[in-house]
Each structure stands twice: as C-alpha cells, then as structure tokens.
Structure 1
Amino acid sequence: MRPVRLSFLCAMLAGILIGPGALAAGNDEVFTVANYPVDAQAANAVTAKKQALADGQQAAFRSLLKRLVPVTDYDRLKRLSGLKASGFLEGVAVRSERNSSTRYIASLDFSFRPDSVRAVLQQEGIPFVEEQAREIIVVPVVRNADGTIDAGAAVRTWTESWKGLDLEHTLTPFGLQPVKSQIHPDTLKLAVDGGGGAERILASEYSSPYVVLAIADPDPAAKRLTVTLSGIDAVGSFTLRRSYRIFDGDTAYAMELAAVVGLGVLEGRWKARKVPPLAGSAYSPAYSSSSSGGGTQVSMRAQYQSLAEWSQMRRQLLNLPGVEDMRIEAESARGADLTLRYPGGASELASALYGHGLALENGTDRLILRSAY
C-alpha cells in the first residue's frame, strides 16, 4: 500500500542565538514557514477551513523548531510538545486555496514571533541556529538508464519537487538552475564517484564554486530512486547518496520525498557546523581511549545496509582531515569493526562526521557509526 501523499513532508524534515548556548546572528526570515500545505475535511466548508488552519499552524510550528534545532538535539524538543502554536503565531498569508462543501485545501505562509520562539528555546536550554548560510546553486538532474541526461518530463518533475520547498526561509537558501549543455554524463559520473574534477567544471560553468548537483537515478524495474547530492555548499565539499522506494510506480512521490530529505541534508550540515553536538546528547559519544601524539584512538562499529554504502562510508572517513591510522578489524555484509585516531577524540570526530552525513553515536558497549540521514 502506498503511503499518504506528501502533503506534510516538510513537517518531517523542515525538515535549521542569543544568550547562553546561543549561536547566530539574528535573522527573522527563518521564523516563517512558507508554502505550507494544509488539507482538512469536515461537515461543512467553514469548519474544514478552521480545522485546516488549526492543524496547519501546529504542524508548521513543529517544522520551524526542527528547522532551527540541530538534529542531534531533537530529543530535547519533547519538552516543548505541549506548546500551542497559536501562542507564537504572528500571521498567516494565503498563497493559494480551494474548497468544496466539506473540504479545504490551501498553501499557506505561517509567520511566528521570533522573540517568543527564541525565548522558549533559551529557557529550555535547547541550542538553535537562526543564521542563514550563504546562498548556493542547486542543479536538479535526472539520468536515464543508459546514463544520458533526461530533458523531458522526469527532470521537470524533479525540478518542481525542489521548487515546492521553502527556498527563501530555509537555513540554507539556494537558487535552482537547469543543467547546462556543457555538463556531460562523464561529469555526472565524476560527481557521483566523489571526484573533485566535477566541482571544478561546475564552478566554471555556473560562475560560482557553491554548486550542488542533485542527481536522480530512477529505476522503475527495481522500484527504487537513487539520489546523489554532490558539490560544494556553505560547509564544504561533500557527496551523499540515498535510495528511496518507488510505491505503485509513482516516481513523482519518491522525488518529492527525496527533495525534502535533500533540503534536510543541507540544513543538517549547516547546523552541525554552527552547533557541534553537546555533552549529554545521544549523539555526543562517551567511549574513547587515551590520547597520544597522533590523536586520540577511537573504536567503533560501522552499520550499513549494503557493501556499496560501506564503501562510501569508508571513503568519507579516509577523506576526513585529521583521520589517521584507520584499521578495519572485522567486516561483514552489514557491519564492520574499526579503529582510527582523531584529534580531540570521539566527541570532535562526531561533530566533524555529522557535517559529512555520518552519525557517531553511543551504543550499548561501543560507538556506532551510521548514515545520519
């Protein structure tokens, strides 16, 4: 059975300070959750609209908190679960709306009072980021099964999935540009493989070093959509890959989800740069051995779903500045035990890895390394 249409995906991953624990320059822009979809049914149109507005503002408020707070501190948001969005709402603007006698559907902009949101987060000691990163360019691309670049309906759908996001108020604003004719399939292959040569080509063609390719590889036969984000954002160079299931042949649905997750990746990297994991967080590792001149030895178990994912994780570790003396002690189809040395030990390593899409967390008796997204 296919899951419910993505009318509230932004609430999942929107998934981004002043006083103690704060880190940011003030920016009221990020306290608006724009282009937010609402949909409600009731006995009549008036009641349906009232219900849609009430549910929508509460969901948008949750999205705002997840935008501002690092994912490593999402567990702290449980303290705010009883808050009513109406107490923080500044205004609502209608982008589009339609209704029947029993249903109301709209796209709305919810603006929340910045000072009130800041105050409650500070009061609860929850770190947050409101400083927006520098704007980058995102280039949606779809590759056909033979490796050629799609120029038809598929890339239009993929591009529209990104356009449907809140591009202006996100912590990581970006502009969308089409793939240029000078970008050839071999450039995309370089990007997917994590080759730096692709970044140089993109910087030249788009007149900016801050370009991220969003490469979608649909495989209807396997019912999978694989998406690779590769390029340079405000944090630095990165390549991340994730696969999504295609339900009932609905590739557009998978693309919508992938775009939401993609924005979450960009915001997550920025927040990890601005607010490293705090001591006491589930993401703040406790296990590490004593330090030596070559850095602190850190032992961990990597968990992954495929050997291809493990290969990517291993490459990310090896390419991380500061990692030395990495040794793989045991390896299987789903996990690997390894040790390495890193300046500052496990806590500093966790912060650095999260910016590259990897999470280092406390397990029962050892550190666990896995994909952060």
Structure 2
Amino acid sequence: MRSHTIVMAFCLALSVSLARAETCPNPAFAVNGLHLDTQGVDGTMARKAALEHATAEAFQIVTNRLLLTDQPAANQLTELTAEDFIDFVHISSETALAQRYIADIDICFDPVRMRDQFIQRNLSWSELFSSPILLLPVWQDPSGIRVWARNITWLDVWRDIGERDNQLLRLKTLSPDLALERRLPPEQIKDKQPDILALSAKAAGAQQLAVLYAGLDYTRSPPMLIMKAELFDADGVFLSEINAVEIEMNGRTNLPEAFDLFRQTFITTLSDTWQRANLYKVDDRADIHVELSVNSLEMWYRLRTLLAELPIVQSITVLRLTSRSGVLKLKLSGSVEALQMAVRSTGYRLQANGDVYQLTVNPG
C-alpha cells in the first residue's frame, strides 16, 4: 500500500509517527508533550527553529524544576547551549510543510552532564519526585460549603494544577463525583476529620493531602476573605500549616487574583520545603539499614527489588540473609521521610526500630 504523501504546487506535507518510544532514565530530567508549530522561509528552517526553541524551553523547565530558588549562580546556566545536554529527543509525530513545521516531542537531558554544571557552580538541587499529594480545596460562603461543585472559582483554580505545574511535587485532585460526595461530605472535610481525610487520601492513592480552605466571613466589619492551606499525612494527622492569609473585602479586592497569588505561594512554599528536605548529595549520602522478614527466597527477591526500584534509593547492599530475615543497607538520594512515603505507596510501611528500619505490610 502506498504511503499517503501529497505533493502540490507549493506544499509538500509529510507526516511521520515514530513507533519506538525511548524512556528517560531519570524522569526529573525529561520534559514530555511539547507541541511545536513554527513557520520559516522553508520547511528545513522551520524545523530547525522549532527544535531550538523547544530545547531551550525544556532546558529552562528542567533547571527551574530541579534547582532551589534564589541562587544567583543559576543565572549562569542561561549562557550554556541547551543542545549540548540532550540525551535524546523522541518525536511522537511530526508534519513538515513547505514553510511550516508541526510536531509533538519529548526531550530527555543527560543527568550526568547537567549535574556536572550544577556542581561547577556550587548549586543546590533535588531530583526526587514526591509521592502523590492530594489537594482538597474547600469553599465557604453564606450559601454553604462546597467541595465538589463546578464553576466555583476557588475550586477551579486547583483542579488543573497538575497540568500547569512542572514541579517535583506530584499533585492530585479528585474529580467531582456523586458517590465520592456522599462518602466525603464537604462539612467533614472542612472540619478536617481524620477519618474523612484518610478516606480521601485512599481514594486518590495519595500519601499526603492538603486541605485548601477559602471562605467569606461576613460577621466581621469589613468582611474578610480567609484562605488557609494545611498539610496532613495519609492517616489524616496534621503535619503543618503551609500558608494562611486574611484580606479585607473593601470593594477593590480581586478574588481571582487573590486566589492565584495564594496558589502560587502554596506551590512555591511546598516545593521549596520538599526540595530542601531531599537535596541531591554529591558525597556522604544518607545510609540506612532495613530489615525484611521473609519466609522464602522468592519473597526476599521481591521485596529487595521493590526497594531497589524506588527512585530515592541509589544503591542496595546485602548485609545479612537468613531463612527468616534479611538486612539491607540503602544509600539514599533524599530524606528518610521521603523514602517512607515512597514505600507506603507500594502497600508497605517502613518504621524505625532502634538503629534499623523494618519493612512491614501497610495495615491500611
């Protein structure tokens, strides 16, 4: 069967779809789903310009994702040629016209070369994605408390957050759902009842959750807009307050702007906290000992593989193995707390027992 190549007087169109997709060895250095649509004096120049622009954009996304904020030396990275750090470019589809180039691509940068530049400039960075964090926005006004309603500005601000933010944070939301609303009443979410928060986290497969409250208080003069973000673990236990703001409703308050600013502050604060707790360590990486209770070699290999495949685990050394247990030494690229969250997402728990951590099945 002939391929569908159409030749016209002033236009040559060629559509290509690559069947084989490469996987970036470290997803923190990857930018996926870039859409290119560029015009030029001819198809070749359009393609060149499109790929150069996309590479520069992806390089900026990755450096912003990894590096701690407020590091002046990071500005020196703009002097580098982004193409020099590419591992590979995967083109999922492309169309080359006479004076236009359209494509969807993924770009993977080489971690070794990029780390070398960070080290040369004495920069601090993190490469570890967080375990899923559920966002539970709550809106309250005189008409009531809303969590699942649509077309409420405060709630809508958060629903597409995962699509808009290229952070190391893995953020999730629950889509409005009648069955969920019955199980998770807005009033009980607003009151932060631990069992309801735990049920919400379980429904989303999240290891932490943030209750994001905003409400209008007309009992005060002038009326106040109150916004607060609080972080909880998967059991609904309070961890910390991320941000809290009160704004006078004086007739000049722009609610969408206030909401967006609060959202940006929340993301920046939580992201910075995560990165600082999980900085990439060139030397002296954290080591911990983990004890596994096993009843067969098959179980031993399965649990060891489970730990080895976690992104935070850089290497594993076997210290002891008997017919009933084994002890591993794990070298980490982040905090023990991050490891515990990652382990919990696999259905297990990692709990301290003296100088050793024990891997047990998560009762939840």
Give the TM-score, by structure 2 length: 0.49
Structure with larger Rg: 2
Structure 1 or 2: more strand by fraction? 2
Asked which structure has the greater RCO (Cα within 8 Å, sep 6+), the reply is 1
